[in-house]
Amino acid sequence: MDRSRLAINQITTPSWSLKDAIDNYAKLDIAGIGIWRDKLTELGTAKTRQMLDATGLFVPSLCKTGDIAKLDIIGKNAALDDCRKAIDEAAEIGAPVVVFVGGGCGTRSLTDARKRVGEVLSQASEHARTVGVDIGLEPFHPMHAAERGCINTLSQACELRQEIGNEVAVILDVFHCWWDPALTSHLEKATQLGVASAHLCDWRVPTRDPVMDRAMPGDGAADISGFIRQLEVSGYNGPYEFEIFSADWAARDPIEVVHICLERYDRYCQEV
Amino acid sequence: MDRSRLAINQITTPSWSLKDAIDNYAKLDIAGIGIWRDKLTELGTAKTRQMLDATGLFVPSLCKTGDIAKLDIIGKNAALDDCRKAIDEAAEIGAPVVVFVGGGCGTRSLTDARKRVGEVLSQASEHARTVGVDIGLEPFHPMHAAERGCINTLSQACELRQEIGNEVAVILDVFHCWWDPALTSHLEKATQLGVASAHLCDWRVPTRDPVMDRAMPGDGAADISGFIRQLEVSGYNGPYEFEIFSADWAARDPIEVVHICLERYDRYCQEV
């Protein structure tokens, strides 16, 4: 596998502005950049698109929409409106997918929260089809079910994809799914249905914070080689996107971090 | 449902000695007590059995054995030896089940850790059969896969029970399984195979510590009524054991804590 499938999500080098991230990733032989919507406002979609075109970087996905419980507090259909807006922004910068995160159930019904995710996905899928952008549903680790994401397994994501249609794709993240005993048996089906991006990171031992303590692939408990091999065997040919939410890695020199991502990509992806 | 199925695991009132816990639970109309092996050494098995017989308290389960990764560091077969010892202790105090916790995989292979759990369970099951005590396999929340328990779903526990035999029972804990989208569909099968105890607690929002921050049933995100109703519909007729690992609840007056357990049992179990 050459480096054409290697992307870094900009959350991995959060001290860089979007402009600096695009410039530096391109200089450092990174093929793609995962972009965050709050960072996108620094440049706006038109200027960002120009920079992407000029550097040749691809965008595996735009992060993020969803968070239904939070957005629904703002007003009726706020989550749906945000999802449509994110789809438009993705189209404007040439990203094929917008990352959709379910949001937690809080102390309310988990079953209802999951139903609401299905409703919003279904309602947003029409706009996604019109615009030509997929909604990338990312199952979240079960420990996030109450606070961040109520869709917790690849199996659930595949079911929603089948219910709703082609506009829903799956985004797989090592941190969220490495523990899942049903992962292997669902990968082939998921790949056939559409896996938009594979997020690489690792499960740090111990994990000291539920969000900001992920490890670099190879430094944690997950079977990174096995994950990539299984994806490839299942027919996956999409991007591998380094997404390291980590206070430790955020504090390091971003150029060094990018070099380590490159080294890990070569270690785990080139052998496949 | 009357109070004959109500037990409290002594970790819920950790400031009490085993003697005080047995005395106070009995006085306060609690039918059963979940006992920990480190606490058991305070009295020894014979004296504990005497006190249990005198008060009429039943023991839903003795906690705990397993922790294979940790015990294997001590020496070959240390985990198996500990499991056999725990089975003997359970028999001596009249507990029908010893709680088995897989232990984490650390940064080594999760797949191998899971296989090793199966091996130890299988090897220990012979002794369990001879002695007449079941091994209660407790699936642990996926966030514990690396550090505490590598069996993470009811489905996995059922598979191991089917592979190994009748001596393996399942222990279900709200904290560990409330998020599982496959829980409902596996409950009937699990109950047929044998659910030894149902641990009641709740998922606190936010959960500030992976171990010591569980909520009292009704105070968190889990659907306690639904959990109990589904268990009953599936044919479960075993104990409901309050097991609240919590620094907050541990700091409260244990008599007050027991009264709150009683009140929650009445609220959620009597309506069924």
Element (H, E) at B135: strand B134-137
Instruction: Report the pLDDT value the prediction gives residue B169, as an integer from 0 to 100.
Output: 97
Which of B62, B104, B65 has the alpha carbon at shortest distance from B197?
A: B62
Mean pLDDT of B17-26: 98
CB contact under 8 A, B205 and A180: no
Instruction: Report the pLDDT value the prediction gives residue B72, as an integer from 0 to 100.
Output: 82
User: pLDDT tens digits, residue range A207-261?
Assistant: 999 999 999 999 999 999 999 999 999 999 999 999 999 999 999 999 999 999 9
The rounded percent of chain B whose pLDDT value lies above 90 is 94
Instruction: Kindly provide the ipTM of the predicted complex, given to two decimals.
Output: 0.95
B105, B153, B178: residue with CB nearest A181: B153
CB contact under 8 A, A220 and B145: no
How far does the CA of residue A239 sit from the closest CA of chain B (Å)?
25
A147: confidence class by pLDDT, cuts 50, 70, 90: very high
Lowest mean pLDDT segment, chosen from A72-81, A104-113, A126-135, B23-32: A72-81
Instruction: Report the pLDDT value the prediction gives residue B115, as an integer from 0 to 100.
Output: 95
User: pLDDT tens digits, residue range B184-228?
Assistant: 999 999 999 999 999 999 999 999 999 999 999 999 999 999 999
Count how many Cα atoms sit within 13 Å of the Cα of residue B125 in the half-sphere of its side chain. 18
Tell me the torsion sign for CA atoms B177, B181, B186, B188: positive
Instruction: Report the pLDDT value the prediction gives residue B128, as an integer from 0 to 100.
Output: 98
CB contact under 8 A, B143 and A207: yes
User: pLDDT tens digits, residue range A53-73?
Assistant: 999 999 999 999 999 988 888
How far does the CA of residue A187 sit from the closest CA of chain B (Å)?
17
Angle, CA A63 vertex, CA A61 and CA A67 arms, to 5°: 135
Instruction: Report the pLDDT value the prediction gives residue A70, as an integer from 0 to 100.
Output: 85
CB contact under 8 A, A143 and B141: yes
* Measured distance CA(A27)–CA(A16) in Å, rounded: 14
pTM across the whole model: 0.96
**Average confidence score pLDDT of chain B:** 96
* Tokens matching residue A156: 């659930």
Q: Where are the extended beta strands (E) located within chain A?
A: 6-9, 32-36, 62-66, 97-101, 134-137, 168-173, 195-200, 240-242
Dihedrals phi, psi of B230, to nearest 5 degrees: -65, -40
Residue with tokens 């992962």: A183
Chain A residue with minimum CA distance to B156 = A181
The answer to whether A218 touches A267, Cβ cutoff 8 Å, is yes
How far does the CA of residue B218 sit from the closest CA of chain A (Å)?
9
Phi-psi sector, B211: left (phi>0), alpha (psi -120 to 50), beta: alpha
Angle, CA B177 vertex, CA A205 and CA B214 arms, to 5°: 70
* Tokens matching residue A130: 């019109």
Please name every residue paired with A100 in a beta bridge, in sequence order, or none if there are none.
A65, A137
* Measured distance CA(B18)–CA(A103) in Å, rounded: 43
The answer to whether A221 touches B105, Cβ cutoff 8 Å, is yes
B147, B181, B220: residue with CB nearest A156: B181
Q: Which amino acid is present at B103? A: G
* Tokens matching residue A189: 């089906």
User: pLDDT tens digits, residue range B46-85?
Assistant: 999 999 999 999 999 999 999 998 888 888 899 999 999 9
A146, A182, A221: residue with CB nearest B106: A221
